[in-house]
Structure 1
Amino acid sequence: MSGIIGKKVGMTSIFNAEGKNIPCTVIEAGPCVVTQVRTVEKDGYEAVQLAFDEKKEKNTTAALKGHFSKANTTPKRKLVEFKTFEGEKSLGDTITVDLFVEGDFVDVVGTSKGKGFQGVVKRHGFGGVGGQTHGQHNRMRAPGSLGASSWPSRVFKGMRMAGRTGGDRVKIQNLEVLKVYPEQNLLVVSGSVPGAKGSFVIVDK
C-alpha cells in the first residue's frame, strides 16, 4: 500500500461543483525520502521506509546519522514503513504529493488529541444517575452501579469507567482527495483527521 508522511495544517471548507460547502483538512504531505528498502532475502519481508520533516543534527544519535547518510539525506524526525509500495523505489528517492490525484480515496492515520483523565460522561457518553430531584445530590455525572455484587465480587475486565482518554492511534478511512497543490506540498482531503495541528499523520493510498 503506497502512502506518504505528512503534517496536519488545519481545517477549512471548500465549495464543490454543485455549490455544496464541504469541510476538509489541509495536510502538508512530504516531500519524503526513501531511507531504507526492505527485502525478503535480507529482512524477511518487503517494505519501503520513508522519512519526513527536518531535524537538527545535534538532536540526532550517531546511529541514525549513519542511517540517513546512506540515503544521502539530512536527519529526519519521522520514519514510517510502507508495505507493497507501488513502483520500484531506491535508496534516496523522493516521494512527493504527486503520488495522489484529485478524486482518490485515502486512509489517514494519526494520534488523537489527548484529553487526560476523564469521567464516564465525557469518555463513554453516559447520561449520569437520575435527575436533579428526588434526593439526588452530586450524582449528575456519576457512573452508577457496576452490576457486580457478592458474585463475582470483582469488577469485570473491560468495564466502562473513568480513565485516560485520547492519545490513541486512530485511522479514518475513505477520505476523498479534493485538491492537490504540488508547489506547496499540500493535500486537501474531505472531512476531519485525528490529531492536533502540527501533528504527524500517515496518508495511505
Structure 2
Amino acid sequence: MSGLIGRKVGMTSIYDENGKNIPCTVIQAGPCVVTQVRTKEVDGYEALQLGFDDKAEKHSTKAANGHFKKAGTSSKKRVVEFKYFEEKYNLGDELTVELFEEGEFVDVSGTSKGKGFNGVVKRHGFGGVGQATHGQHNRLRAPGSIGAASYPARVFKGMKMAGRLGGDKVKVQNLRVLKVVKDKNLLVVKGAVPGHKNSYLIIEK
C-alpha cells in the first residue's frame, strides 16, 4: 500500500458546501525520502523504506548515518517500510503530500495517548454494581466479583480489570481526505486520529 509518514498538527473544523460543520484533523504528511529499496532478489520481498523528520548526525549511530548517506539525505528520526507501493521509486527520491488526492479515503495509524493506570469504569465502561445509582456506598465504581473460586484458582488472562490504559498502536480506517495543501505538505482528514499533537503517524492509501 502506498503511504507516507506524517506528524499530527492538531484538530480543527471546516464547513462543507451545505454549511455543515465537520470536525477534522490536520496532518503534516511528508516530505519523506526513500532511504532504501527492498527487492525480491536481495531481501526476499519488495518494499520501500521511507525516512521522515531530520535529526542531527550526533544523535544517530554511525551505521545509521552511513545508511542515510547512501540515499544522499540527512539522518531521520522516523523510518518506516511500506509494502506494495503503487509506483516505482529510486533511492533518494522525495515523496510529498501530492501522493494523496482530495475525496479519497486513507487509513491512519499511530500510538494512542497514554492515560496511565485506570479503573474499570473508564477503561472498560463498567457502570457499577447492577447499574445502581443509589444505595451502593463505595461499590458504585468497583469491578465486583471476578468469578474465581477453587477452580480455576487463578485469574484468566484478558479479564476486564483495572490497569494501564492507552499507549497502544491504533489504526483508524477509511478517513476521507477533505483538503490537500501542497505548498505546506498538509493533509486535512475527516474525524480524529490517534496520538497527541506532534506525534508520528503512518498514512496509507
Q: TM-score range with shorter-chain normalisation? A: over 0.9
Segments of 4+ in structure 1 off by > 6 A?
none
Q: How far is the alpha carbon of 1:89 from its aligned partner?
A: 0.7
Aligned mates of 1:111, 1:158 — CA distance in 2:
21
1:124-149 CA distance string (max 9 Å, x none): 00012254654x33212110010222
Instruction: Quote the residue 1:121 is aligned against.
Output: 121
Q: State the AA in 2 paired with 1:204.
A: E
Which residue identity does 2:123 align to in structure 1? R
Q: Percent identity?
A: 69
Q: Distance in 1 between matches of 2:25 and 2:119?
A: 29
| 157-166 or 24-33, larger mean C-alpha shift | 157-166
Residue in structure 1 matched with residue 29 of structure 2 by the alignment: 29
Aligned-partner residue type, residue 185 of structure 1? N
CA–CA distance in 1 between the matches of 2:45 and 2:19?
A: 47
Report the counterpart of residue 60 of structure 2 in structure 1.
60
Q: Which amino acid aligns with 1:41?
A: E
The one-letter amino acid paired with 2:171 is K
> What is the RMSD of the two structures over their aligned residues, measured on CA atoms?
1.1
Matching of residues 53-202 of structure 1 within 5 Å: 53-130=53-130, 131=132, 133-134=134-135, 136-202=136-202
- The runs of 5 or more residues in structure 1 that have no matched partner are none
CA displacement at 1:56 relative to structure 2 = 1.2
Cα distance in structure 2, aligned partners of 1:65 and 1:150: 59
| Corresponding position of 2:13 | 13
Gaps of 5+ in 2: none
- Inter-partner Cα distance in structure 1 for 2:194 and 2:154: 35
Task: Give the Cα–Cα distance (whole angstroms) in 1 for the partners of residues 26 and 149 of structure 2.
Answer: 51
